[in-house]
Chains A and B, each alone.
Chain A
Amino acid sequence: MAAAVSPKNYFLSRFEPLLRAFLVAPLAVAMVGSCQSAPAGKAAIDSPDPVHTGPATLPPPQNGLPPDPIHSVKEEPKGFAVPKPPLSKELWPCQDCHEAQVPNPVRRELKEEHTNIHLHHDEANRWCLDCHNKDNRDFLHLASGVTITFDESYRLCGQCHGTQYRDWKSGIHGKRTGMWDGEKQYLLCVHCHNPHSPHFKPLKPEAPPVRPTLIR
């Protein structure tokens, strides 16, 4: 077996991963750099949403078959009829206060405002401005820098929680109310999960059934 492989092929197969790493790494660094220097904040809000306005035409289906899932461009759903996010009336809109302030991205204990927020959501790695838009607090932003409204917060959650996002879109994750055969009311992730501390809190159970021996 080994005798059949020429020395050149052996070298290539042995060191191919290493070669690739050397070739690809500088490219990746360059790309990350360009991302960071891309305009963010106000400019991004005005710019059209690249995902939602996305590719206008999909390849036409051939022979009545759906488009090839790998080679065709995947289209994001055009948004869901979700209710308004549960924003507190006293604090919304955020810009009323934040417009005059200089953003402070430093991780710190919040002593003056938002003291009720205790971040228990991958807090070791994240801070406010990882989700909230730095220059206009009435918006959120995705990891790509795309600015989104609070109505679309599911896209933000879906970046990390991909399986839940997939299930939510098909109605498996989360709750829908209304008509099973018609108009449904959806819920945003944040209607059930506190985005700053998303784990469900324990509940008091309602009354148990009566044991048959106690029935009179």
Chain B
Amino acid sequence: MLTEKPETHACSCGGKTGGCAKKQETVEETAPHHGHDHGHEAAEELTDDEAARKLSMSRRNFMKHSAIVAGAATAAACSTEELEKFTAHRLREMTQPELKQLIKRLEADYKKQFKKNVEVRATPAAEGVKFGYALDLSRCIGCRRCVHACVKENNQSRPTPEGEHNNPIHWIRVLEMEKEKGIDLSDANPYYNPAEVPREGHFYMPVQCQQCENPPCVKVCPVQATWKEPDGIVVIDYEWCIGCRYCMVACPYGARRFNWAEPNLPADQLNPNTHVLGNRPRPKGVVEKCTFCIQRTREGRYPACVEICPVGARKFGNMLDPKSEIRAVLESKRVFILKEDLNTRPKFFYFFGI
């Protein structure tokens, strides 16, 4: 009870982007990686103070008073915007006007942060579409063009030259493996960096979110901040994610990434065409991952990794359309999926085209 009550007030901003004075103080005091726990810390601090002065009070009175003090402090410190954020629904349950309001707020925030117009769309899934992806392992040469095209398209955190914020995020990981050993994930090397690829006797296997039909990451999320859309894309509500990283543990493909620090995204490198469930700039403390470039594919375009691949190893399309390339692959090639025994049923297929 003691910890519960103050927590309801303690940082209604619930958030990651800051703005609330109370929050900023506590964030400075606590470790920067635990921005989400600050509510709890603030509560304890407050109750300590109060308790020292009002030791003689009855428990009931003490609780009453502390709640009033806390409420007043919240009202003073947090703007109506913060209150709105706190009372907002999760994205999945939002009505159209609520969604519009959220987008308006996000666009205003980004304008303030990057001094640049950022368009946030919320294009819904189209009827009769189930996205599928296929990758030709006999073509891939491991050049990582896809990795960096993805970083640029999806506004991932960049490395800094000084190395101060050396937490670049890649959604695609290219594994180098030995031809002699075959596909052996335990012996794969994602950090290869020779002068030229492909290296003699090696082959390459890019791994990204497999967009499972039966996604374990969705099952474990304690706040249901991640789910599978009707077109098969597994998405994350960045406003709702609490950063517990259970999903990262549950994912058998290591496809999810965590923003350990405020992402380093220079305004001149920002891609302003964004989707609310995809590549919009993320705050610190949330999980992110490949969304099949939801901002592009929901508009009918190919994902960025498909378009950049210099060897044409990547195939994408609607699995429900018999004329699509992905169907041609599925019908004429021997495809396989990663870790089939886990029954995750990925919509990301690998094949050997030769």
Known pairs A205-B142, A211-B191; A200 contacts B166 (CB<8 A): no
For B148, the chain A residues whose CB sits under 8 A away are 206-207
Bound Cα distance A171, B179 (Å): 27
**Chain B CB within 8 A of A173 CB:** yes
For A175, the chain B residues whose CB sits under 8 A away are 306-307, 309, 311-312
Partner of B168, one of A180, A181, A210: A210
Report the minimal beta-carbon distance from A202 to chain B, rounded to whole angstroms: 4
Partner of B311, one of A176, A178, A192: A192
For B173, the chain A residues whose CB sits under 8 A away are 209
- Assess the A172–B166 pair: CB atoms within 8 A: no
Q: Which of A181, A187, A216 has the most CB of B within 10 A?
A: A181
Report the minimal beta-carbon distance from A176 to chain B, rounded to whole angstroms: 7
- Assess the B302–A216 pair: CB atoms within 8 A: no
Nearest-CB residue, chain A, relative to B204: A205
Partner of A176, one of B142, B159, B325: B325
Known pairs A176-B325, A180-B301, A180-B302; A209 contacts B167 (CB<8 A): no
- Assess the A192–B312 pair: CB atoms within 8 A: yes
Q: Secondary structure of the A side of the interface?
A: loop
Nearest-CB residue, chain A, relative to B149: A206
Interface size on B, residues (CB 8 A): 49
Bound Cα distance A208, B191 (Å): 5
For A177, the chain B residues whose CB sits under 8 A away are 302, 306-307
Known pairs A179-B302, A205-B192, A208-B190; A172 contacts B318 (CB<8 A): no
Known pairs A205-B144, A206-B144, A206-B145; A180 contacts B164 (CB<8 A): no
For B306, the chain A residues whose CB sits under 8 A away are 175, 177
**Chain A CB within 8 A of B353 CB:** yes
**Chain B CB within 8 A of A85 CB:** no
Nearest-CB residue, chain A, relative to B172: A209
- Assess the A207–B144 pair: CB atoms within 8 A: yes
**Chain A CB within 8 A of B300 CB:** yes
Bound Cα distance A210, B193 (Å): 12
- Assess the B301–A178 pair: CB atoms within 8 A: yes
For B333, the chain A residues whose CB sits under 8 A away are 172
Partner of A205, one of B193, B317, B318: B193
Report the minimal beta-carbon distance from A158 to chain B, rounded to whole angstroms: 16
- Residues on B facing A (Cβ under 8 Å): 136, 141-145, 147-148, 159, 163-168, 170, 173, 190-198, 260, 297, 300-302, 306-307, 309-312, 315-318, 321, 324-325, 328-329, 332-333, 353
Given A173-B312, A176-B325, 12 other A-B residues pairs in contact with their CB atoms under 8 A: A171-B325, A172-B136, A172-B353, A174-B312, A177-B306, A187-B312, A192-B312, A205-B194, A207-B159, A209-B168, A210-B167, A216-B163
The 4 closest A-B pairs by CB, nearest first: A175-B312, A171-B325, A202-B196, A170-B328
